[in-house]
Amino acid sequence: MAGKQLTSMPVNYCTSRSMMELSPGKLIEHDWYESNQGREFFNCLLRKQKRRQFGVLERPTFPLGMSSEIQSYKLFLYGKAGVGKTSLICKLCGLDIPQIHHETPGLQTSTIYWPAKLVNSNEVITFKFILYDVGEFALKKYNHFLPACIEKVDAVIFTFSFVDRASFDDLTNSVDNLALPEKSTLKIVVGTKYPILTSRS
Amino acid sequence: MAYVIALTSGGGVPLFTRTIGDYEALPFPTVGSLNGVHMFTETHGAKLLSTRTQNAKIVWQVFNDSITIIIVTVDDGASDVHLKTLLQFIYNAMSIYFLIDKLLEESLLIGHITGCLDTTAFTDIDVLQDCLEAFVGWCNTEFGCVLINGKLAASTTRWWNLPSTDSILLSLLISAMVHSASKDIAIYLPATFPDVPHRLMTFQILDGVEVCVLCGSTPSHNEVLQNQILDSYWRSCIDILKNDMRNAPKVLPPSITLDFGILGRKCLATFVRALSNFTGIDDSAAIDMDENIIDEDNTPVETYMCSDEYKLHALHKKNYQCFIMFSKDVPVYALRSVLSSTCYMDIQYLKFNTWVEMNMLVRAENMNVRAL
């Protein structure tokens, strides 16, 4: 179950740093999590069928013979208040999605470990994604949050909501105007609340 | 379940409403009537404090002559004191709605009910305290604490000496937020810093163990996270913490045996903390159950309640509180003597086992046993 959640996100951005040298196409095996080896890896990340939460000073331990290099990436979620940035992170981290919306009062980071097998290689890499999430109000009111989020960031996830037209219209502006320290920073767009849209129609 | 409505006292303009439980929001005319009846009594020189319906209770309270907060909740037969305390907390948490919801929902944290900060026991407090003091020093602040599963396990003197409103709300705020590896939020402390925002930074070093500091503009969040700072300051107590987490929850110290009629108990006591040394409860605080159940100020210090399923007895003195839930089979006349011996054991334990002192200690402020 956790594996399915994980593969629902685009995974090619692991190449952001060396994107120029690579040809487009898939770089990891998308159905690897269903294989025996994949299951063993994911079992190390689960506790009672839910994703285990790791503290800052913890990391997943894999059994002997199942070594895996950990590659760390910093991702910043950017988008209008209420589009569902925090809920998206909860979903990815295997946490319960908050039932009632409330504005995130500042900056919070979440860590997610995600093993994947590269195409044409036996190597299993464990991606460590550190997701930065700031409430829109806090981001505008205090000026120390934005620098904290974009410093050494590997990718920015621009979020819009399928049930909020304005959040989609703002997207072009946000992508163009967010001043990132490096031009090569990968930009990803994620739409949220699609099930709400489909259930309405 | 509960409804909370806040309005401006002068004009009755709604500020916010919260609905806890699977209930429809209160219709606007009902909100208007609830506020109207309160304003009506005010204009006639009377004060409307509370009322009961068949199964609900409504309490009104005005804060700062400007904001009226109304709570509608299930009538549990208790006096209004608890709801008044709750309203005070809601007023202090007013700009943060999820914190208000947390106050109204069932929770493992009970600080806002007892008026004492929730704490937890930790085996090797000295190591934890040393790590905390060193880390807080690096952060250039005097406010820091370690929360284990939301309860305070160690803190600096300044954090410990925060007014209970502030420290209880801080603990609740941290546990009400979405589980995350680290946080950096701007907060106002209603009693200590009502006008100056401070940064509250928390770092989940292990799942369930959160290191919290209150600081100014430095250090930046990234400095702490990226430069192995957490690793260098906390590595030495990671194994002890892991071990403690595995053996938690420690409900009872092994030397204490409980009467078979006791279903649950909580003993809170106050110690005075001077720098890193503790002074225990002095002898004048020894339990004397022959005293009257009313103290010099005519405030009740003991109370009991009997329901169909269990009996409750509570004791609240200047330095300690003791709450015991008995099986319904324990006769009422035995409640006091069992409480007395259990509480005595707890206090003696706290007195002679220094490592646990800090953890079991809590300040009892503005607490009224009638609330129970």
More confident residue, B78 or B278: B78
| Inter-chain touch B182–A109, beta carbons under 8 Å | yes
Q: What is the pLDDT of residue A3?
A: 38
Give the confidence band of A90 by pLDDT, cuts at 50, 70, 90. Answer: very high
Whether residue A63 is predicted with pLDDT greater than 50 in this model: the reply is yes
Average pLDDT over residues B104-124: 78
CA proximity to B367, closest of B312, B331, B320: B320
Q: What is the pLDDT of residue B214?
A: 95
Helix, strand, coil content of chain B in percent (nearest 5): 35, 30, 35
CA proximity to B276, closest of B211, B368, B357: B357
| Residue ranges of domains in chain A | 2-200
Chain A interface residues (partner B, CB cutoff 8 A): 52-58, 86, 89-90, 93, 95, 98, 100, 102, 104-111, 130, 133, 138, 141-142, 144-145, 147-148, 151-152
Which residues, at least 6 apart from B331, have a Cβ–Cβ distance to it below 8 Å?
A: none
Residue B51 CB-half CA count within 13 A: 7
B179 contacts in A (CB within 8 Å)?
Answer: 53, 93, 95, 110
Give the confidence band of B354 by pLDDT, cuts at 50, 70, 90. Answer: very low
Lowest mean pLDDT among A4-8, A98-102, B161-165, B299-303: A4-8
For B73-100, what is each residue's pLDDT tens digit? Answer: 887 766 788 889 889 999 999 888 889 9
Average pLDDT over residues B197-208: 93
> B298: which DSSP letter?
S
Whether residue B370 is predicted with pLDDT greater than 70 in this model: the reply is no
Give the confidence band of B206 by pLDDT, cuts at 50, 70, 90. Answer: very high
Give me chain B's average pLDDT, please.
78
> What CA dihedral angle connects B243, B244, B246 and B249, to 10 degrees?
170
Q: What is the pLDDT of residue B204?
A: 95
Whether residue B104 is predicted with pLDDT greater than 70 in this model: the reply is yes
A137 — phi, psi (to 5°)?
-65, -45
Answer for the pair B262, B325: CB distance below 8 angstroms, yes or no: yes
Answer for the pair B219, B239: CB distance below 8 angstroms, yes or no: no
CA proximity to B246, closest of B219, B305, B206: B206
Of A56, A58, A105, the CB nearest to B203: A56
Give the confidence band of B302 by pLDDT, cuts at 50, 70, 90. Answer: confident
Answer for the pair B83, B71: CB distance below 8 angstroms, yes or no: yes
Domains and CATH numbers, chain B: 2-106 (3.30.450.70), 125-247 (3.30.450.190), 262-371 (no CATH)
Q: What is the pLDDT of residue B79?
A: 72
CA A5 to chain B, closest CA, distance in angstroms equals 18
B101 contacts in A (CB within 8 Å)?
Answer: 100
Whether residue B323 is predicted with pLDDT greater than 80 in this model: the reply is no
The domain made up of A2-200 has a fold known as: Rossmann fold (3.40.50)
B187 contacts in A (CB within 8 Å)?
Answer: 105
| Inter-chain touch A100–B231, beta carbons under 8 Å | no
Whether residue B49 is predicted with pLDDT greater than 80 in this model: the reply is yes
CA proximity to B49, closest of B20, B78, B24, B70: B70
CA proximity to B270, closest of B171, B365, B166, B174: B365
ipTM over 0.90: no
Q: What is the pLDDT of residue A19?
A: 47
Residue B98 CB-half CA count within 13 A: 16
For A139-165, what is each residue's pLDDT tens digit? Answer: 999 999 999 999 999 999 999 999 989
Helix (H, G, I), strand (E, B) or coil at A189: strand
For A97-146, what is each residue's pLDDT tens digit? Answer: 888 888 899 999 999 999 988 888 888 889 999 999 999 999 999 999 99
Report CA-CA distances (Å) from B57 to A41, B267, B305: 54, 30, 19
Q: What is the pLDDT of residue B251?
A: 46
CA proximity to B28, closest of B55, B7, B9, B53: B7
A147 contacts in B (CB within 8 Å)?
Answer: 220
Whether residue A201 is predicted with pLDDT greater than 70 in this model: the reply is no
CA proximity to B174, closest of B207, B151, B205: B151
More confident residue, B211 or B246: B211
